[in-house]
Amino acid sequence: MIRLLLGALLWVCASISWAQVLDFSEAETRAILRHGPWPSPWSPDPTNRVSGNPAAIELGERLFFEPRLSPSGKVLCATCHAPFRGWQDGRARAFGLAETDRNTQSLFNVRNNRWFGWDGAGDSLWAQSVRPILEAREMGGSQAEAAALIRRDPELSCRFEKTFGAPPPADDEGVFAGIGKALAAFQETIVSGRTPFDDFRDALEKGDRQAAARYPLAAQRGLKLFVGRGNCSACHFGPAFTNGEFHDTGVPFFLKGGADPGRHGGLKKLQANAFNLLGAHNDDRSGSSAVKTRQVAIEHRNFGEFKVPSLRNVAQTAPYMHNGSLATLAEVVRHYSEINPDRLHAEGESLLKPLHLSAGEAADLVAFLESLSETSSALPPRLPSTACR
Amino acid sequence: MPIIDAHLHYSHDAWETVPPKEAIAILRKAGLKRALISSSGDDGQQRLAALAPDLVIPELRPYRSRGEIGSWFRDQSVIPYLEERLGKYRYAGIGEFHLYGADADLPVPRRMVQLARQHKLFLHAHSDVDAVDRLFKQWPEARILWAHSGFDRPEKVREMLRKHKNLWCDLAFRTDHARGGKVDADWRSAFLEFPDRFMVGTDSFTPERWYYIAEHASWSRQWLGDLPKDVAERIAWKNGENLFGGLLAQ
């Protein structure tokens, strides 16, 4: 009798678990599986000869928290990319020495990017990393001042030599490129951890419905919308939830007395940048890494386009959009739900159509986005700092 | 080089964010000789025309708001709107309107074509080949400015230009004809075969794109510099002056 009761209880439990996994179609399942596995494989950046190098990571970490890279002594990389705020600043628009025009992007998984910054003005992480040092409203520095700091500070100078195998060179540009590459090596370690979504995705792949049933139903319904009717995964694609490209999503992009050119301006900056991958500081002698920079063309449509951000840890990185104009994930969902097609060119972003989500559907989509938050950190343990010898 | 921008909109959502005085200043700063402007609704370009009649070539759009792009051709109320505006103001053309395939033969577009005929106006059609053919069938003597050159291939554009002697093409929101200041070979052939039938245009489909007009003019001057001077001048402004200037003088 007891055995019979236990059997019935197990059957009931199993039924409840089964009932808690929505019925995903084959197409939906395929789309979901494309968002993993996580962490995704990564190999060092061939354009940066110290990518993945422990000495470079240590130097980069020091530089990331080094206020003297700004002549003001008041602004460091971590001012805007604060580790305790999801590697951003929680502000609508970044504030270094003054307020800028754009929201600070999180550095989580920044190593996976193809283009860097909202406008893609950087084609490598190391080139992007030195940009804020020179910006008047961010750190307000110069190549000469940054290079002089590395040369005169014994600790930084020693670490530079340890990283690059030679003392800081006489030319400022060479030292500056080294600063960028060390900063990049450090930022490559900023990887987000696994999330409830990843556990669900892997369970789905293995056919483990019991494990899959641990994923909240609201998140499952939101995921169904994300890969289905919402078509969100067309741009927020792959394990990092971004296609790495640029789109006009109908967010106004006025600035005082003008407009933010977005990708159009970014491409012009990229082409003019001595640190782009077509320049002398690219360590990839094969030339293959520079193909994207050589081939990318400026188009009219790029005006007002901004990069598709990754959605991993998105709940930690409010506010949203290129100018921080949307305060919450609920507002972002509402923006897409009620998107104004009049703002999009008739030949342009046909992917974007008003979804007219119900309140419940919008809440489900938010629940799904919140399930992209890591449950434990994947950051490497920080080693005690010792003096360079 | 002076430029006539043959594809601008100054729609309801631009009036506050880029006020008329600022809009005119943008056009002058970009070195535009004239600009073909339409609005959804029509009051926007009338405000600009009142401020700068030397600069603004008014064009009547059959939309009261931009949201009507996909519905106007079935909306009977568009006709009294057009009639009312045509009775009140002077225009060079009707457009830019979005119209594809057999929709061109629906009653509303047909009546619009009749109005254009009655008022001797050109049609500015954001259309596919089929709709352009149908418009010419309705009114064989129509003058049609083909918005974005139909986003079609240069070979097809040439074919259409050979077929319809009253067809002109704007190059708005296209970048395939030039890169890095150099004209694409297939497009060069089209420009050299039909130097009198192309014009440039920005397409300010959102208010922010008013701040792209100067950039677009400068980009256009670059690639026009890769063409023989007389061809470049025709595409830059002379073709627009010939087509719109004559209509305005009537």
ipTM field:
0.93
**A108 and A218 inside one domain:** no
pLDDT of A384 > 80? The answer is: no
**Burial of A281: CB neighbours in 10 Å, binned 0-12, 13-18, 19+:** buried
**A172 and A35 inside one domain:** no
Q: What is the CATH number of the domain that holds A247?
A: 1.10.760.10
- Among the three residues A271, A303, A335, which one is the final residue of a domain in this structure? A303
Name the residue range of residue A161's domain: 42-190+263-303
Instruction: Give the pLDDT of residue A345.
Output: 74
Instruction: Give the pLDDT of residue A17.
Output: 43
**A184 and A103 inside one domain:** yes
Instruction: Give the pLDDT band of residue A344 (cuts 50, 70, 90).
Output: confident
Q: How many domains does chain A have?
A: 2
Q: What is the pTM of this model?
A: 0.93
Instruction: Give the pLDDT band of residue B190 (cuts 50, 70, 90).
Output: very high
- Select the residue from B13, B63, B211, B218 to test the A interface by mutation, using most A Cβ atoms within 10 A: B211
The average pLDDT across B1-30 equals 95
Would you call A347 and B173 a contact, using CB atoms and an 8 Å cutoff? yes
β pairing state of B32-38 and B56-60: parallel
Residue B132, classed as helix, strand or coil, is helix
Residue A23, classed as helix, strand or coil, is coil
Looking at chain B from residue 22 to 61, which residues have their Cβ under 8 Å from any Cβ of chain A? Answer: none
pLDDT of A13 > 70? The answer is: no
**Total beta-carbon pairs less than 8 A apart between chain A and chain B:** 53
Instruction: Give the pLDDT of residue A280.
Output: 96
Would you call B98 and A346 a contact, using CB atoms and an 8 Å cutoff? yes
**A184 and A211 inside one domain:** no
Structural domain spans, chain B: 3-249
Q: Does B174 touch chain A (CB under 8 A)?
A: yes
Chain mean pLDDT for chain A: 93
Would you call A300 and B13 a contact, using CB atoms and an 8 Å cutoff? no
**A267 and A241 inside one domain:** no
Kindly indicate whether the domain formed by B3-249 is annotated with CATH number 3.30.43.10: no
- Among the three residues A236, A271, A303, which one is the final residue of a domain in this structure? A303
**A87 and A122 inside one domain:** yes
State the first-to-last Cα distance of chain B, in angstroms, to the nearest integer. 27
Instruction: Give the pLDDT band of residue A342 (cuts 50, 70, 90).
Output: confident
**A283 and A344 inside one domain:** no
Residue A11 lies in a domain: no
The average pLDDT across B116-141 equals 97
**A146 and A159 inside one domain:** yes
- Rounded to the nearest 10 degrees, how much is the dihedral formed by the CA atoms of B16, B12, A357, A311? -50
Asked if residue A340 lies in contact with residue A353, where contact means CB atoms within 8 angstroms, the answer is no
The average pLDDT across A121-134 equals 98
Q: What is the spatial distance between Cα B227 and Cα B233, in angstroms, rounded to a whole number?
A: 9
- Among the three residues A247, A272, A303, which one is the final residue of a domain in this structure? A303
Instruction: Give the pLDDT band of residue A172 (cuts 50, 70, 90).
Output: very high
Token pair for residue A301? 């449509």
The average pLDDT across A163-192 equals 98
Would you call B203 and A299 a contact, using CB atoms and an 8 Å cutoff? no
Would you call A303 and B209 a contact, using CB atoms and an 8 Å cutoff? yes
Residue A221 lies in a domain: yes
**A72 and A146 inside one domain:** yes
Asked if residue A132 lies in contact with residue A352, where contact means CB atoms within 8 angstroms, the answer is no
Instruction: Give the pLDDT of residue A2.
Output: 53
Q: What is the spatial distance between Cα B171 and Cα B235, in angstroms, rounded to a whole number?
A: 10
Token pair for residue A314? 């998105």
pLDDT tens for B18-71 read: 999 999 999 999 999 999 999 988 888 899 999 999 999 999 999 998 788 889
**A76 and A126 inside one domain:** yes
pLDDT of A19 > 70? The answer is: no
Percent over 70 (pLDDT), chain A? 94
pLDDT of A15 > 50? The answer is: no
**A245 and A299 inside one domain:** no
Q: What is the spatial distance between Cα B220 and Cα B204, in angstroms, rounded to a whole number?
A: 15
**A27 and A102 inside one domain:** no
